[in-house]
Structure 1
Amino acid sequence: MTAEQQRLKVNAGKQVPLEQWGPYLSEREWGTVREDYSENGDAWNYFPFDHANGRAYKWGEDGLGGISDYFQNLCFSVALWNGKDKILKERLFGLGNYEGNHGEDVKELYYYLDNLPTHYYMQMLYKYPQQAFPYDDLINTNRHRSKLEPEYEILDTGIFKDDKYFDVFITYAKHSKTDIAIKIEVINRGKIPAPITVLPTLWFYNRWSYGGLETRPVLKEINEYTVKATHERLGDYYFYFGRPDDRFFTENETNTQKLFGKPNATGICVKDAINDAVVNNKNVEELRKSKQGTKFSPVYKTVVPAGGSKVFYLRLCDEMKSSPFANGFEQVFAQRKQEADEFYAAILPNNVSADRLLIQRQALAGLLWSKQYYHYDIERWISTGDGISPISYQRQHGRNHDWLHLKNQDIILMPDKWEYPWYAAWDLAFHCIPMALIDPVYAKHQLLLIMREWYMKPDGQLPAYEWNFGDVNPPVQALAALEVYRIEKRNTGAGDIDFLKRIFQKLIINFTWWINRKDPNGNNIFEGGFLGLDNIGVFNRSMQLQGQMELEQADGTSWMGMYALNMMDMAIEIAMNDPSFEDTATKFFEHFVLIAEALNELGMWNDEDKFYYDTLAMINASPIQLRIKSIVGLTSLFAVSIIETNVLQKLDDFQKRITWFEDYRKKNNKFWPNEERAEENKILLSLIPKERLVALLQRMLSETEFLSPGGIRALSKYHEKYPYSVNIEGTEYTIQYDPGDSTSNFYGGNSNWRGPVWMPINYLIIESISKYGDFYGDGLTIEYPTGSGNYLNLKQVAGKLIDRVASLFEIDAQNQRRLHGNYNWFYSKPENRDLILYFEYFHGDNGHGLGASHQSGWTSLIASLLTEQAQTKPGYKQEEKVVIDEEEEVAEEKGV
């Protein structure tokens, strides 16, 4: 057992399996719904980036490469100044929703290089230009670009030409849980010496302004190398640093004078006072006299030689140290790095290329860096103000007003800590699958957390995301729970039945909500609105339709078929240990049959096109099939399960009931879903008949339709030549294939995809095809690609699809990665060749990365796919099962 696995063992015994310190600091708090106290719900304009350096937040904090304790009482991050910028680089810059031609977008270069689940070792890289940061150029150029043009990125500005930039490596290595060594290394990639000011910054989250603390915390100078942090909840911490050029204390309070023309309650000591002192040489002497506050920075002014580097060490711990940087202090970084290498060597497969290991490790590092403290109490948000805007009637009856029970204050896996610094229910489910590879206990905790009463609505609805908690995401939590359970069981030899039981009970409540709220006609055809698939519909599927019309959704129905089958699988697994769950397995099986009947018999299948479509049902008129060839019609593939006959033999009641149900339906000429039996004592259950499965695969695996070089597209390329249009009560709606960002302004924001490759959908497709392949073996082969004359079994097809998805990330003979697209000139440099971004989605024709650039939440599923593929190949290393020895002593405080 590696040192990290021993630490994880300790955490597994906690009620919340988390370390006290981690990368829990957000990368963007400004422009979020929770900081929006406007009357019109315009979060981006109410709290813009221009306010962020001088305005205190109410619900959290943000910073550059930062850390905090798990209640974000005390925060640390790095600030920089190149001597030319108009503000300190304290946080990542990006465009608001109205500034970008394709919605909001971070405009910085940063990379998550490494992390451990306990965060005993973490490293990220930030690339800082030596010229003035092109804020205005990025804003103005993007604002004037059309939807038909690509986004204008920082690498387009020329600011990184001639290598005039710094690589800033921020590394954390823990001596123990509450003793953190910090290393900031600045490398000058340019050809001439360049100046830089480095400001390691420590501050308190401002709870005192809103009645959250009885006593205002304080950072107080002990000596010229030490600051003491005192907080009523956190206790005392000590911040150690080398000899600085300056030391500045201020207060984490809003500069009301600058922003709103009102006198500052704390005089010159406001949030941006250090910024003004360093950048504008303002109030320098006054700040030097201050010896305490709630925000503090030692200031290091240096010149880094061409090609050279400068290193700064710091330490944050809860003990007074007489020699905090004694000889050997820096060795902790090498030790923790070695422990990280040992941990991933034990976790990741040994029979893949070095580049694929790099892809996996950085994906998992990004997943871990994306843990964030999330604090939001809807009732308090609605009923109180922020000290700037008064309580408004509009907010009391506006966004999320019916989610008053929602009181979140937890560490949660975020989709992207800049572009999506808030959780989304279905994103989180996907995040937990790769998390199970490295920390299954935390993965289980996250899935259970979203089901808790301070998240789930009393009626069973799960919160979607803070922009509209009432939106509906696909119900993938049951699938994720099963995947997490199976991954842990495979890796440790023991399945956590108690976890399955706990989440199963909550999922029943959510399943019931779907049945009661999203099947209005009681015919097992489901609605759900956009279901996360924003731009693949001809119109906004969440909009209220005119007249007596209802949209019956093929994907909504398929998702529910998958949900029912997942619940059946879960109940069967539990019933093998607890027979009282056996009849519940029967209940979900029967519901699956009824949903399969609705999908296949009630007008969603088009026999001419051999495809499933959404249907517009109308009173006194024939229904209209919306003949859009999109992943809506492919979701029917996801509902597939294999039951071993030896399992059935142990579940007498379940076997008897499904046999009776089958006999009854067949005798009465009623629909029966695809059920096949193999010689290997397996039973296949699937949502669709075998001949329809083959027809869907033929279309999906065609390179003129869904199959792209990098995976399965969201919308068929067929619609590039043949856009689809439909006239509904005098309004013409049209959709066409766009391989990149949508050219339509209909949806706005960053929800702009039509044809790109989307990792979570590709994951589900590959997993489903693989499961079909497990059952059929060589008994079912199909052309891959369609029309090639090359026939493969479905297991082989799944492997080929993994290779296509992996090709988005892999480096080629020219030292280029497809996802970097037009920026491979930059990433081909020796210092950049191993830097990988995990985009939200990928161009449907060339594989270039699009959308959020650090969506290492669900895009980290690439690590799961590569691991699964490796496990089926010769030479795979099967680690010895880790059996937890309760008597084994772990040196917890020393972290070994």
Structure 2
Amino acid sequence: MPAGRREWRLPPAAAGRRGYLYNPVHSWEYFPHDHARERAYRWGEDGILGITDRECRLCLCLGLWNGKDPILKERLFGLTGPQGNHGEDCKENYYYLDSSPTHSYMKGLYKYPQDAYPYERLEQEARERSVLDREFELEDAGVFNEGKYWDVFAEYAKNTPNDVLCRITAVNRGPETATIHVLPQLWFRNTWIWGCSHEGCTIKPKLRSQKDGKVYLHHDSLGTMYFVCDKDPEGKEPKKIFTENETNMKHMYGVETYTKYVRDAFHRYVVNGEEDAVDPRQRGTKVAPHYILEVPAGEERSVRVRFFTEEEDPKEYFGKAFDAVFDLRIKETDEFYDSIIDSRASKDERSMARQSYAGLLWSKQFYHYVMKSWLHGDDTQPNPPESRLGGRNTDWMHLFNRDVVSMPDKWEYPWYASWDLAFHMIPFARVDPDFAKEQLILFLREWYMSPSGQIPAYEFNFSDVNPPVHAWAVFRVFKMTGKRGSRDRVFLGRCFQKLMLNFTWWVNRKDPDGKNIFSGGFLGLDNIGVFDRSRPLPTGGHLEQADGTAWVAFFCVVMLDIALELALEDSTYEDMASKFFEHFVSIIDAMNHMAGGGGLWDENDGFYYDVLRTDHCTVPLRIRSMVGLIPLFASLSLEEEVIEKLPGFKKRLDWFMKYRTDLSSHVNYMTNPETSRGRHLLGIPSRKNLKRVLSYVLDENEFLSPYGIRSISKYHEDNPFIFNVEEEEYRVKYVPGESNTYLFGGNSNWRGPIWLCVNYLLIEALERYDFFYGETLKVECPTGSGNMLRLQDCAKEISSRIVKLFVPDENGRRPCHGDNDLYKDDPHFKDLVLFYEYFHGDNGRGLGASHQTGWTAVVTACLDKQVKG
């Protein structure tokens, strides 16, 4: 592409970012599904298995109609937070099957019923179900019975970065010949109507048909491009239909606009038969060839389209050359994953890993949010309500997000969450290390990070406090993306400087008494506690959090590790290493005091608890939960051979160990039998306390599920924690599946299910402890079995249990799909894998968002640990 333009490197169009209001209920009401086909989007775009350039200027997505639906299928349907009996819930069956890191090849699948889509029934069933009932899914409506559905595959291949090929294949899985309408829709995002100055183009782009059959496109920043479409399988030219990507003002608001050719024109033309809905002049800002395919039972038909820059006009648009590009890109993608996924993994494990990576790559999205514009409105538009200026995020006026970002889930969470993103970068580092580093740096830049040093949490409230895992992700990516001696130290140094600001923010804002005991609110664990930890306590007083304190300890020890790494080549970092060493030891000391005497350790139970402190009492909240396991994450083994290379740090360490005996007792020492040199272990629990906590972790009647570590001990199933405040009872019970409370929206449950993010941190922690203790420390795994294992073997056991979630068992069922017979018996479902937000604590059934190949993609790292041993 000519100088100054951006290449077509980035994938899927946004899946649902239409508008924002700050009350979660109102945000769903603000832009419902029924409005999406009629209203031009302000901040992003939305479509089924689509792609866009890196600034979301030009988009290509599927449009489908089965002849029976009341609407043209252009975007995914789901229940809003208030509609779903467990919060927002996508009611579609779609799958990310493949993607190369550069998106030179991508493949996705959408399963489209041949009968009318059951919109009303899905809403009705959710209304009639309570929080105690399971969700009613699309397959429960019987729409896939007898194979009466279409498998619609969308594939993209790049001949060059700016010559993009698309092949859409519709497969009739039903018993009879059926007809499907396929519309590959190409359109410009509307950047011209709002009057905003920060878009790449405020001049309306052009799109028109030419006599030679090509569609001419011109965009002020993309330049001139062409869109071509192949004949249908019967050899006929499809009719190309055109409209403008403009809101249907007359229907929505009763207001006339400059054109009658508006956003919902294709729906009205195809479904309602309104011939005059589309522009007969064949021009506008949106175009689609209209293919009508009649497909016999069990057969398939494909359509092909292509767009390219003026400079890269190929000699042959379709035919053998088109197919050859796909064949080459598929071959290259296969070869790439053969080098990434361990050959010792089984066929099912390799397939699972590849789909996981595909979901991760498909879930990159153009994310656009300019705080000042949102709060004050656009110059040419009506002013927003005054109430917006008093809502959330008003203290984030610096925030200017206009980047490609890794999303947790393209439908349910089409916005970033900073701690989610940190986990995404672990598997991303395997497939696209440059992108992983760029993303981690991005969230530390001035247009994301607050001047105070806080990293934005997530869209609904940037000021909420997520666990500080960014430093961990930075250091892990640093080590994963190069061999020792050739790693990207510039990346590490850049991040360290900004992470210092973030660490200072934590110390200043979340340790108000200066006691090294931290309270960060809900800290991403949503409803895990007895109280809503983001609100004032009903008892008065304050909560000292075991997880909040442990997260900061984890942050601190990772910063120590980074400082030591940087100090090996730059001695100015030795002072920072000393600072983080002493701060970490102080946090260890604070945590390990008895819970009634200023600390968070309960000697009677052998566990870490949150502690409620009021003017009248000090009460440990004795809930055995992930809150008490997070202290295990913070540990580091210091090698004497490294310390000896750092004379400034060594001098301070020796002084500290000699003269601060009140604190130095928390630092364990052991001689490495292989080198005869010593190691220092920094960790929150002592060896004795570590074993006591692990006896709970590895107990199958407590935390150890067949599929990983539960977020709350199963002990609380029959022994709920109960806390009474005056006339009101607060209760925490083990809930293995969907949430039974609407705290935090009701669609996020930390009261029992398995979450892969914290499981992965625990696995790594066990490996670090094993590095120090080695053969000298073995524990029963499972507890009570008499089977004594080293901690590294316990980590491998947990990894293996997690991998089991996604591979067929002896009966052909993948636990993540629960008792759904389609995924067991239907040959066109059985090889597909969904990567849920979290998993049932007893049977492994997937729960929450169904495409969370963000942090759930760390299953690929668990697979590596399992097969490598």
Calculate the TM-score normalised by the size of structure 2: 0.95
- The separation in 1 between residues aligned to 2:278 and 2:822, in whole angstroms, is 45
Letter in 1 for 2:722: S
Letter in 2 for 1:381: W
- The separation in 2 between residues aligned to 1:285 and 1:800, in whole angstroms, is 64
Q: Alignment partner of 2:758: what SS?
A: helix
Aligned to 1:695: 692
- The separation in 2 between residues aligned to 1:381 and 1:334, in whole angstroms, is 45
Contact 1:21 1:67 survives alignment (8 Å) = no
Aligned to 2:621: 626
Q: What is the CA-CA distance between 1:581 and the residue it aligns to?
A: 0.7
Q: What is the CA-CA distance between 1:304 and the residue it aligns to?
A: 1.1
Match of 1:642 among 634, 637, 652: 637
- The separation in 2 between residues aligned to 1:794 and 1:550, in whole angstroms, is 36
Q: What is the CA-CA distance between 1:535 and the residue it aligns to?
A: 1.6
Larger deviation: 689-698 or 19-28?
Answer: 19-28
Aligned to 2:583: 591
- The separation in 1 between residues aligned to 2:215 and 2:397, in whole angstroms, is 40
Aligned to 1:737: 734
Larger deviation: 727-736 or 521-530?
Answer: 727-736
Q: Does residue 553 of structure 2 align to residue 561 of structure 1?
A: yes
Q: What is the CA-CA distance between 1:20 and the residue it aligns to?
A: 2.9
Q: Does residue 241 of structure 2 align to residue 241 of structure 1?
A: no
- The separation in 2 between residues aligned to 1:544 and 1:386, in whole angstroms, is 39
Letter in 1 for 2:176: I
> Quick one: structure 1 residues 91 and 224, their matched pair in 2 at CA, closer, same or farther if it must change by over 3 Å?
farther
Letter in 2 for 1:411: V
Q: What is the CA-CA distance between 1:326 and the residue it aligns to?
A: 4.4
Contact 1:24 1:70 survives alignment (8 Å) = no
Aligned to 1:516: 508
- The separation in 1 between residues aligned to 2:849 and 2:277, in whole angstroms, is 42
Letter in 2 for 1:818: P
Contact 1:190 1:307 survives alignment (8 Å) = yes
Larger deviation: 822-831 or 145-154?
Answer: 822-831
Q: Alignment partner of 1:663: what SS?
A: helix
- The separation in 1 between residues aligned to 2:540 and 2:238, in whole angstroms, is 72
Aligned to 2:522: 530
Match of 2:217 among 226, 229, 233: 229
Match of 2:496 among 486, 494, 504: 504
Aligned to 1:880: none
- The separation in 2 between residues aligned to 1:15 and 1:524, in whole angstroms, is 51
Q: Does residue 404 of structure 2 align to residue 416 of structure 1?
A: no
Q: What is the CA-CA distance between 1:727 and the residue it aligns to?
A: 2.0
Q: Alignment partner of 2:818: what SS?
A: helix
Contact 1:481 1:500 survives alignment (8 Å) = yes
Match of 1:206 among 171, 190, 206: 190
Aligned to 1:313: 304
Aligned to 1:57: 41
- The separation in 2 between residues aligned to 1:840 and 1:376, in whole angstroms, is 25
> Quick one: structure 1 residues 357 and 728, their matched pair in 2 at CA, closer, same or farther if it must change by over 3 Å?
same
Aligned to 2:801: 804
Match of 1:763 among 740, 760, 764: 760
- The separation in 2 between residues aligned to 1:99 and 1:405, in whole angstroms, is 34
Residues 758-797 of structure 1 correspond to what in structure 2 (within 5 A)?
758-797=755-794
> Quick one: structure 1 residues 45 and 502, their matched pair in 2 at CA, closer, same or farther if it must change by over 3 Å?
same
Q: Alignment partner of 1:590: what SS?
A: helix
Q: Alignment partner of 1:399: what SS?
A: coil
Match of 1:603 among 599, 603, 607: 599
Aligned to 2:865: 868
Contact 1:378 1:403 survives alignment (8 Å) = yes
Match of 2:291 among 300, 314, 325: 300
Letter in 2 for 1:785: P
Q: Does residue 130 of structure 2 align to residue 138 of structure 1?
A: no
CA shift digits 1:129-183 (9 cap, x unpaired): 0000111111110122001100111111111111100101100110010001111
Q: What is the CA-CA distance between 1:665 and the residue it aligns to?
A: 1.9
> Quick one: structure 1 residues 386 and 417, their matched pair in 2 at CA, closer, same or farther if it must change by over 3 Å?
farther
Q: What is the CA-CA distance between 1:545 and the residue it aligns to?
A: 2.3
CA shift digits 1:103-153 (9 cap, x unpaired): 001111111111111100110111000000111111110122001100111
Q: Structure 2 unaligned runs (5+)? A: 232-236
- The separation in 1 between residues aligned to 2:151 and 2:636, in whole angstroms, is 49
- The separation in 1 between residues aligned to 2:612 and 2:757, in whole angstroms, is 27
- The separation in 1 between residues aligned to 2:416 and 2:254, in whole angstroms, is 35
Letter in 1 for 2:553: G
Q: What is the CA-CA distance between 1:736 and the residue it aligns to?
A: 0.5
> Quick one: structure 1 residues 38 and 606, their matched pair in 2 at CA, closer, same or farther if it must change by over 3 Å?
closer
Larger deviation: 119-128 or 596-605?
Answer: 596-605
Letter in 2 for 1:413: S
Aligned to 1:70: 54
Aligned to 2:234: none
Aligned to 1:889: none
Letter in 2 for 1:860: A
Letter in 2 for 1:657: R
Larger deviation: 722-731 or 604-613?
Answer: 722-731
Q: What is the CA-CA distance between 1:824 and the residue it aligns to?
A: 3.4
Aligned to 1:892: none
CA shift digits 1:243-262 (9 cap, x unpaired): 34322110111112222222
Letter in 2 for 1:505: Q
Contact 1:245 1:298 survives alignment (8 Å) = yes
Contact 1:24 1:411 survives alignment (8 Å) = no
> Quick one: structure 1 residues 823 and 493, their matched pair in 2 at CA, closer, same or farther if it must change by over 3 Å?
farther
CA shift digits 1:281-323 (9 cap, x unpaired): 11x1462513100111110011111000001111111133453
Larger deviation: 637-646 or 95-104?
Answer: 637-646
Contact 2:28 2:81 survives alignment (8 Å) = yes
Q: What is the CA-CA distance between 1:391 and the residue it aligns to?
A: 1.8
Match of 2:324 among 328, 331, 338: 331
Contact 1:37 1:389 survives alignment (8 Å) = no
Q: Does residue 676 of structure 2 align to residue 704 of structure 1?
A: no
Calculate the TM-score normalised by the size of structure 1: 0.92
Contact 2:24 2:460 survives alignment (8 Å) = no
- The separation in 1 between residues aligned to 2:319 and 2:23, in whole angstroms, is 55
- The separation in 2 between residues aligned to 1:130 and 1:120, in whole angstroms, is 32
Letter in 1 for 2:247: T
Q: Alignment partner of 1:540: what SS?
A: coil
Q: Alignment partner of 1:831: what SS?
A: coil
Contact 2:195 2:379 survives alignment (8 Å) = no
Q: Structure 1 unaligned runs (5+)? A: 1-9, 873-896
Q: What is the CA-CA distance between 1:717 and the residue it aligns to?
A: 0.6
Letter in 2 for 1:541: R
Q: Does residue 342 of structure 2 align to residue 354 of structure 1?
A: no
Q: Alignment partner of 2:821: what SS?
A: helix
Q: What is the CA-CA distance between 1:191 and the residue it aligns to?
A: 1.0
CA shift digits 1:55-113 (9 cap, x unpaired): 11100101110011101111110110000001111011111010000000111111111
Q: What is the CA-CA distance between 1:215 and the residue it aligns to?
A: 2.0
Contact 1:38 1:389 survives alignment (8 Å) = no
Larger deviation: 296-305 or 239-248?
Answer: 239-248
Letter in 2 for 1:845: D
Letter in 2 for 1:578: D
> Quick one: structure 1 residues 161 and 856, their matched pair in 2 at CA, closer, same or farther if it must change by over 3 Å?
same
Of structures 1 and 2, the one with the larger relative CO (CA 8 A, separation 6+) is 1
Q: Alignment partner of 1:632: what SS?
A: helix
